[in-house]
Amino acid sequence: MSYVIDASVGLKWVLTEAGSDRASALLAKEALAAPELFWIECANVLWVKSRRGQITAADARAAYSAIAAAPVAIVPAQALAGAAQAIAFELDQTAYDCLYLAAAMTARRVLITADELFADAALAHPVYAASVRRL
């Protein structure tokens, strides 16, 4: 496992947006891992985009299937929940987002994210900055 990724990266594999090329290159070249929440977040974002009429339900289902088929190692989340909450208090970010950082730090890896607000908060913190990289 080279990197931990969050849903903002995985979604770029199936949605054409800024950074999609970098996300696809990462998938092709690196061993990736993510907490169990990753797949739920991806499914939910695709559902929201379908509900808003940005993509069809069929496209959302197909996109999720592509994400689910990607070679991403599963990191069990339960053992990381306490650490994620502690990081959330320190960064004033959601425990959901901090779960990815907790996974990266526990595995002594770097989290790659396209979530600019989260990246800004983590990179500004002296303890967490070395464990986060922008996509």
Q: Is the pLDDT of residue 1 over 70?
A: no
20 pLDDT more than 70: yes
pLDDT band of 39, cuts 50, 70, 90: very high
Report d(CA 68, CA 79) in Å as an integer: 23
CATH number of the domain residue 75 falls in:
3.40.50.1010
Phi, psi of 70 (to 5 degrees): -70, 145
Name the domain count of the chain.
Answer: 1
pLDDT, tens digit, 9 for 90 and up, residues 97-133: 999 999 999 999 999 999 999 999 999 999 999 999 9
Which positions ≥6 away from 77 have C-beta within 8 Å?
35, 36, 37, 99, 103
Average per-residue pLDDT in the chain?
A: 97
Domain residues for 85? 3-134
Alpha helices by DSSP H, listed for 56-123, are 57-69, 81-91, 95-106, 116-123
Residues 52-82: tens digit of each pLDDT: 999 999 999 999 999 999 999 999 999 999 9
